[in-house]
Every structure is written in structure tokens, then in C-alpha cells.
Structure 1
Amino acid sequence: MPYLLLALAALFWSGNFVLGRAFHAELPPVGLAFWRWAAALAILAPLALPRLRRAWPALRAARGRIAALALLGVAGFNTFVYLGLQSTTTVNALLINATVPVLIVPLAWLSGIERPGPRPLAGALVSLAGVAWIMARGDPAALARLDVHAGDAWILLAAFCWAAYSLLLRRLPPGLDPLAFLLAIVALGVAVLAPLYLAEHLGGRAFPLTRASAAVVGYVALFASVLAFVCWNHGIRAVGAARGGLFMHLMPVFGTVLAVLFLHERLHRYHLLGMLGVAAGIALATSRPRGRRKEEQAP
């Protein structure tokens, strides 16, 4: 079940990247981030408020980590992604974002939060090779020809934020209510984004109120925010950041499938080979050594 939840989170976030780039000219980045999380807060409030009183002691005890997670995962990551998509392509953004599992491994070692074994590391490298193969369209030399934009730096900063967010999830109290936790970090994230949104609005980039903008906010609030974060938080706390973070590599795969289904793009052989590489890397990282499996099955 944790692996299914992680895959669903990657699927929902793939749509977020596609929409963020598709509407980058119409929707200002901070405004999109702010309304995304404001709408998510409205969705969460009736579900999570009744749980907040019971979860308050645990939230208060972990308030420093809660604040850090709000800054990294809510206010930071998504805003940096939308800023990056203003000037870089979806292809570049997804490729850079796919480095999250690779970034998690050294951060885990340096922080001491996790001690990833050789299998998660090997799986991350195999899966990353599959992602790169898709982005290069089956031509490794094409990676050197990818255009580098200023927005790439924002996406890389977002990737570091998400790697750190995923690691910090493991430091939360084990009995903390997931909806109360999500409500807390979303509320803090909205509070951080509010003055930045006001500054962007006063600077001349007002957020348009149209059917298209409402539809985009509705998707990113419900699917890419509430549902994806619930799935991701549960999955990472169950299997760890080094192993679970590898599911970020599914985003370019899902992005390709969505493009074929909805944008009528063609499916090529390099897509299939790259998807096999991603699947092989995830299988390698999530599998247990045969000896350990026998030990766990022994009475």
C-alpha cells in the first residue's frame, strides 16, 4: 500500500508540472502557489479541524520541525517550481526534479536521519538512467544539448527543498495525525506566501479570475496538494525517504503517458526503454535481499 500511495502522489504531481508550464504566461507563480494552498486549506479545514485538538500536544512538541516542513514543502518547493517553469521547459524541469532521490541519499548520510544501503543507491542510479533516456529521446548525446535556462536553478533549489522535506518527515512523532499535520503545514505555508503574493500583485502581476485559472487551482489544490501530500507523507513515513523518494522518477514516465493520452503525442521506443529502466530501478531499491526475506518469514 505505501508504494501505491507514492505512485499516486507522483501521478498527481506530474499534472501539476504540466499545468504550471502550460499556464506560465497567464498565471503568476507566487499567485498560483498562494491560491493553490489557500484552496487546499479550505478543503482540509472541515476534515482536519476536529482532529486538531487531539493532535495539538504532538504538534506543539514538534513545532520546530513543523515550521521547517511548512517552509520546505509548502511555501518553498511549489513556489520555486512555478518560478522555474516561467523560463524553463517542462522537460528540463522534470529531469532536474528527478534528481531528488539522488539528492536524498547524501543528505540522509550527512544528516544522520537515515543510513541508506547499497540497494536504494543502486536503484536510484538505474532509475535516473531511465529518466535520462526518456529526456534524451534515446540519444545520450542529446543531454548535452539541453537548453539551460535561469529557471533551471529554481527547479534545482526546489529539488533540494523536497529532498530535505522527505527526510524530515521521518523525524515526526509516530502517532501524529496525518490530516492535522497537513493542516498545520499548509496554514503556515499560506501565512508565509501571503505577503509574497501581495508584493507580486502590487508589482503588476495580478492573478486572473477566469474559468481556466479556477480549473487549474482546483486541480492543484485537491489532487497535487491535499491528496498527493497525504499519499506522499504516509508512504515516506512507512518506507523511508531513500527508498520512497525513488518514486519521484515516475513523474517523467507519467508525464509521457499523459501527453500521449491527452495531447496526442506519439509513444516511441525510447519511452518504453526509459520506463523499463525506471521500473527496474524502483524494483531494485524496494526489494529485500533474499537472506533478509527468509529471516523475516522465519517463525
Structure 2
Amino acid sequence: MEDRKTLWLGIMCALGATALWAGNFIVARGFHHSLPPVTLAFWRWFFASAVLFPFALPHLIRERARVKEHLGYLCLTAFSGVTLFNTLVYVAGLATTALNLSLIAMVSPLFIVILAWLFQGEGMHGAKVVGTLMAFFGVLLLITGGSPGVLLKMRFNSGDLLMMVAALIFAFYSLLVRQKPQGLSMLTFLASTFFMGLAMLAPAYFWERGFSIAPLMPLASMGVVAYLGIFAALIAYALWNRAIMLIGPGRTAVCYYLLPLFSGVEAMIFLGEPIGWVHLVSAGFILSGVALSSRQPG
């Protein structure tokens, strides 16, 4: 049974990743119109890989035999977590509304909890089930602004289907992280998945560039893409992967429900957007749900 220190360290890593991904939404608000979706994804991972490379190179050289031994696993993890996930989110954002994207993204933690239970034997005790449902309800309350009728007015399209696929892929990636081979350091694992994922994304990037008349990389965009690459990709993924290794994908997933809450707080700080009663009540449900889900059985 895990000790309390491990539990809290895992929760803090998951919360740190979620907070950085929330900042991703704040920084990137309206930004997807500046660059095509695959181009945005490509440069995000390019910056992340470039920053990681000098630190990871000695580890990659030292563990090259391990990388070669588990090349199939690393390619699958890279393709799901790097090549596909964020690219599909950016493509979906061109065809659907922010409300639909937010709601469908919140299905991903449910996918992770269910898949971890089905395929990895992670416990589904009463506290985890109740906590997950409480957090999910809090997110619904927050996103709909306390008006359930908003859900009835939603219209679904191809972008929503892509976002649902992206949510399932992220759940699949999170389960793969738990299966990281022994003897493969986290730095080598991150570098391998980043570099392979970027390489697999490159053909789609060059194909998209062939149909685009936009500049290769507008100077005004470089700072934002650098932020997305370093903080929302490199650091956030490192924290998320660490959390999964410490407390498992199920508990880590429930912390993801705090993403819209973090987004609201950051929007208040940086964009001056107000916080009302819906935010406070939603925060109560989400935080209580995360706390319940983190409890050990009995």
C-alpha cells in the first residue's frame, strides 16, 4: 500500500500538469486562427523537443539498448500522446464550439478510470466512484453556467466526434504510461516519445504546409508556441507521467477535472473575467470529488 507522502506527491504532480494545461487554454484563446492546426501542433512539440534534447541526450545514449528493445511500445505511446492527441484537439477546434470541446474533454477522465479498471485492475471502490461522479457534476455545472438547458441546445458535428476520439486517445496514452518498462528512465521515456511523435507528425505538417499561404512561423506567434511547447507540453507531460507512475491513472485522471476551475481562476487573474456563485459551488463539488477519489479503500 502506498504511503501518504507518495500519494500527495502524485496528486501535486497531477494538479501541476492540470494547471499548466489550463494556462494553455488561456494563452491559446483565439490563437488557433493564426496557424493551421497541424502546424501549431508541430511547432509546439518542436520547441518541447528542442529544450529537452541537451538534457536527454546522455540518457538516450546510455539507455539506447533499452530504447531499441522497447521501440514498438515507445512508438505506440508517441503516436497516441504526441502525434495524435493535441493535433486532433486543434483540428476539432476549427469545426465545433468551445463549450462542446470543454464538455467532451471532460469525458477523458471517465475513460481513464474505466479503462484502468478493466485492463489494469485498478480498484473501483465506492469512494472513487462517488468522487469521480461528484467531480464530473461539478464540471458540468461550471461549463454550463448553472443552466442545464444549455446541454439541450448543443448541436454535434464532425469536430465533436474528433474531440471524442482525442479524449479516448488521451485515456489510452495515460494507461500506456503506467506500463513504462523497467530500466527506462523517465527522461529517456519523455525524449523518446517526444522525438518519435514529432517525426511521425512531420509528414502531416509538410502536407499541410503545401496547402497554406501563411508564413512559416509569424514572429508574433513564436513566444506563444514556445510557451505551449515548454510548459504545456514538456513540463506538463513530465508531471502527468510522474503522477501516473506514483498513484496510478485512475486517481491522476480525476485531478484533470480541476482543469476548468484552474482556467477560471487564471482567466480572472490575467483576463479580468469575473468569478460568480457557479464557480464557487462547482469548485466545492470538484474538490470534494478529487479528495474522495484519492482516499484509499477502507
TM over 0.5: yes
Contact 2:113 2:253 in 1 (8 A): no
Which deviates more from structure 2 when the two are superposed, residues 24-33 or residues 52-61? 52-61
Task: Please give the residue correspondences for 1:117-196 in structure 2 after superposition, counting only pairs within 5 Å.
Answer: 117-196=125-204
- 1:82 matched to 2:113: no
Among residues 217, 234, 248, which one is paired with 1:226 in the alignment?
234
* Whole-Å separation in 2 of the counterparts to 1:259 and 1:188: 34
Alpha-carbon distance in 1 for matches of 2:183, 2:252: 20
Is residue 272 from structure 1 mapped to residue 277 from structure 2 by the alignment?
no
Deviations 1:205-234 (A, max 9, x none): 545532331011111110011100110000
- Percent identity, aligned pairs only, is 37
Match of 1:99? 107
> Which 10-residue stretch deviates more, 71-80 or 99-108?
99-108
Question: Do 2:128 and 2:295's aligned partners in 1 also have CA atoms closer than 8 Å?
Answer: no
Paired residue for 1:216?
A: 224
Distance 2:52 2:13 in 1: 19
Distance 2:155 2:105 in 1: 16
Report if aligned partners of 1:33, 1:78 keep a CA contact under 8 Å in 2.
yes
User: For residue 204 of structure 1, what is the amino acid of its counterpart?
Assistant: S
Cα RMSD of the aligned pairs, angstroms, is 1.7
TM-score, length basis structure 2: 0.91
In the alignment, which residue of structure 2 is the partner of 1:4?
12
Structure 1: gaps spanning 5 or more residues: 292-299
CA distance in 2, matches of 1:205, 1:188: 27
Aligned length: 290
Is structure 2 residue 121 aligned with structure 1 residue 108?
A: no
How far residue 31 of structure 1 moved from its aligned partner, in angstroms, is 0.2
* 2:248 paired with 1:240: yes
1:203 and 2:208 aligned: no
Q: 1:174–1:122: structure 2 CA closer, same or farther, 3 Å change rule?
A: farther
The residue type equivalent to 1:287 in the other structure is: R
Displacement of 1:147 after TM fit? 4.3
Distance 1:196 1:256, change over 3 A: same
Distance in 1, Cα, partners of 2:176 & 2:291: 24
Q: Letter of the aligned partner of 1:98 in structure 2?
A: M
Letter paired with 2:143: M
2:67 equivalent to 1:70: no
| Aligned-pair CA distance for 1:116 | 3.5
Q: CA deviation at 1:115?
A: 4.2
Deviation at 1:254, TM superposition (A): 1.0
**What TM-score results when the alignment is normalised by the length of structure 1?**
0.91
Give structure 2 stretches of 5+ with no counterpart: 1-8
Q: Distance in 2 between matches of 1:203 and 1:22?
A: 22
The 1-side partners of 2:25 and 2:168 are apart by 17
Mapped to 2, the partners of 1:126 and 1:175 lie a distance apart of 38
Amino acid corresponding to residue 55 of structure 2 in structure 1 = L
In the TM superposition, residue 88 of structure 1 has moved relative to its aligned partner by 2.4
What's the secondary structure of 1:24's corresponding residue? helix
1:213 counterpart SS class: helix
Q: Quote the Cα distance in structure 2 between the aligned partners of 1:251 and 1:174.
A: 31
For residues 148-200 of structure 1, the C-alpha deviation after alignment (integer angstroms, 9 at most, x for no partner) is 34322221111101100111111112442111111100111111111100110
Residue 62 of structure 2 corresponds to residue 54 of structure 1: yes
